[in-house]
Amino acid sequence: MHDNEAVALLRATTLLKELDEEDLLRLASRAVTRRFLRGQVVFTEGEPGDTLLVVATGRLKVLTKVLTKVLTKADDGRDHVLNIAGPRETVGELNIVEAGTRSASVEALEPTTALVLDRTAVWELVRERPAVAEQLIRALVAHVRRLTGANADLVFLDLPRRVAKLLLRMREAGRPVIELGLTQTEIASLLGGSRQSVNQALREFERRTWILSEGQTITILQVDRLRGFAGD
């Protein structure tokens, strides 16, 4: 990826959008482009990490293991999907603030290109220009607020409305066709529900002619109705 393309991508992120052109160019010159195949593990929960990923194309799935506490204290091996990161979104923000172990695993949902930015490059810039730290803190606060909003949805919205919000969020640049890249079980894990409830919600949206569902491809036919139902 050329520096000017990398700068445009970094500028489009919530995390780095407030940096000026010179700062973005400096970070872009230090970034490395990585490409991942569908299903490829990007990094694993618990391994050391000190890099930030910025998705250029494709999508990454962020997940963690679910430990089921039973008498044997065995791990049932299930994965819980925490987030789906698409173009212009970032993964690994906490490892930029503090180097340590990865709090979750990341896999490519589809062929994906990402910029990999080393923590050292960011902190060299922070030490030279302390104002950059304030900008990064504001961006991280905004990120935490988004996570808080997602948690609030789990409390205050029923599952069908959470499914509707997910479809709307995955709808890119006004395109009505969504390639989910997720099974209904993974969607249920992401939204805190059951596979059967996700299936019922999608069937009901289809019955109302709001969507057309064909496998993992969803076509949104009535976006305003879906948005009104989700409360957006």
The encoded tokens of residue 9 equal: 């991508």
Q: Residues with Cβ < 8 Å from 104, sequence gap 6 or more?
A: 45, 62, 63, 64, 82
Please report, for the chain, the start and end positions of each structural domain, with discontinuous segments joined by +.
Answer: 3-153, 158-230
Per-10-residue mean pLDDT of the chain, 232 residues long, equals 89 84 91 94 91 92 64 49 86 82 89 93 84 77 72 76 88 71 80 88 93 87 91 76
pLDDT at residue 174 in the model? 63
β-partners of residue 116 are: 32, 53
What is the CATH class of 3-153? mainly beta
Rg (CA), the chain: 19
Q: How far apart are CA 12 and CA 6, in angstroms?
A: 10
Q: Give the fold, CATH level 3, of 158-230.
A: Arc Repressor Mutant, subunit A (1.10.10)
| Rounded alpha-carbon distances, angstroms, from residue 167 to 106, 133, 142, 177 | 21, 34, 22, 10
pTM, two decimals, is 0.74
Taking CB atoms within 8 Å and a gap of at least 24, the contacts of 127-130 are: 129/23
pLDDT at residue 70 in the model? 39
pLDDT at residue 150 in the model? 67
Q: Using an 8 Å Cβ cutoff, are 220 and 167 in contact?
A: yes
Reading across the β-sheet that carries 32-36, which strands appear in turn?
A: 32-36, 112-118, 51-57, 90-91
192-207: buried (b, 16+ CB within 10 Å) or exposed (e) per residue? Answer: ebeeebbbebbeebbe
Q: How far apart are CA 115 and CA 18, in angstroms?
A: 18
First to last CA, the chain: 36
pLDDT at residue 5 in the model? 92
